[in-house]
Amino acid sequence: MGIGHTWPDLLRSPVEKAKDILVGLNYGGNPRPVVMIDEFGFDFGGRMDEKSAQILRLTKRQKPELAMAVWEMRGPVPKVLANSYRDVADLVMIESYVRDKKQYWWIVSQVWAARRYGILSKTIVVLGAGKGGKPGEDWAQTKEELKQQIRFVRMIAPESPGVGFFAGTPVLLASADALCAHFFDIPTDGAGLPAEVLALGRTFSSRYEKPTLVVSPDLVEPNYSDDGSGRLAQPKTMRAYLINLGDKDAQNVKVRLRNPPDKGGEVFAEAVVPLIPRRSEAIGVLPVNGTWRVWVGQWEVEVEAPGCQTLVFRR
């Protein structure tokens, strides 16, 4: 049995104190203690993510017998967190809460990053079942949709040790449990999945001769202050997670964020990303030079990438 702990007091404390909090939890004398941390993954390798990685490493150094399971949110795991998970975490649970096949790119982008950093063998995909706690958080609503998502995960992440679920009605969860009793018998070739779902899964595993970029307004977050207050680090920047699926490097890629037309349409952050290595990723750090009037996923992302193919996804 693990002890659950949420992030606020950890990230609002200095790193040493956060480490002491985790080390000092009441594990009931368990010789093999486990802590489950909800949740890390705030700013695509920014200050909050760097601090989170430091906390994990110091905690493991102080209490090496402590097993750590971490919930990872907000898209593909960035390098600084992935490296710490690989070195000291025992289980990573990626939050892959989607509604239907139009949003499956979110799951496969997360799996792509976990495989890229060598942590997929200790990573499980956690699917959203039913409804979340906020307006618009509508995830898998039927047994058929949840079954399809499970089959999709099995196809794109055969190395993963399992799958998990968040929320959900008793009927949905009972159906998921029944299917997961035979999880490792589910075919990994995508048998039974619709053609468009198969094609999406293969988008992230196919080989591309030219640089092929995956971009999304949902894969952009502000750089937060590392005091855990929710304030933005100064000077203000946006951090864009950019994937290159191609066999050649992408160079001098210009990225802009723009308010939608009904909110003024002006550019409020932009930068040139010098290099996105082949079959890898880069974080574009975009200085904020204007006012953004909408929040994550609602702004527009524009990319100028000569010689590249660009795939734009949106949740």
SS (H, E, C) the chain: CCEEEECHHHHCCCHHHHHHHHHCCCCCCCCCCEEEEEEECCCCCCHHHHHHHHHHHHHHHHCCCCEEEEEECCCCCCHHHHHHHHHHCCEEEEEECCCCHHHHHHHHHHHHHHHHCCCHHHEEEEEEECECCCCCCECECCHHHHHHHHHHHHHHCCCCCCEEEEECCHHHHHHHHHHHCCHHHCCCCCCCCCHHHHHHHHHCCCCECCCEEEECHHHEEECECCCCCCCECCCCEEEEEEEECECCCEEEEEEEEECCHHHCCCEEEEEEEEEECCCEEEEEEEEECCCCCCCCCCCEEEEECCCCEEEECCC
Q: Which residues 6+ apart lie within 8 Å of 133 measured at CB?
A: none
Over residues 266-285, the mean pLDDT reads 98
Same domain flag for 43 and 138: yes
For residue range 186-215, list pLDDT tens digits in order. 999 999 999 999 999 999 999 999 999 999
Structural domain boundaries enclosing 147: 3-203
CATH number at residue 294: 2.60.40
Same domain flag for 107 and 244: no
**pLDDT for residue 136:** 79
For residue range 84-138, list pLDDT tens digits in order. 999 999 999 999 999 999 999 999 999 999 999 999 999 999 999 988 878 878 8
Confidence of residue 232 (pLDDT cuts 50, 70, 90): very high
Same domain flag for 161 and 240: no
Rounded-to-integer distance, Cα 275 and Cα 284, Å: 9
Same domain flag for 290 and 166: no
Average pLDDT of the residues of the chain: 96
For residue range 26-79, list pLDDT tens digits in order. 999 999 999 999 999 999 999 999 999 999 999 999 999 999 999 999 899 999
Same domain flag for 123 and 148: yes
Task: Out of 177, 203, 229, pick the residue that ends a domain.
Answer: 203
**pLDDT exceeds 90 at position 81:** yes
**pLDDT exceeds 80 at position 151:** yes
Phi/psi-derived region of residue 264, left when phi > 0, alpha when psi is between -120 and 50, beta in every other case: left
Task: Out of 136, 170, 203, pick the residue that ends a domain.
Answer: 203
Same domain flag for 228 and 169: no
For residue range 209-221, list pLDDT tens digits in order. 999 999 999 999 9
CB of 56 closer than 8 Å to CB of 18 = no
Percent of the chain residues topping a pLDDT of 70: 100
For residue range 153-174, list pLDDT tens digits in order. 999 999 999 999 998 788 888 9
Over residues 252-256, the mean pLDDT reads 98
Same domain flag for 232 and 121: no
Between CA 58 and CA 14, with CA 68 as vertex, the angle to 5 degrees is 35
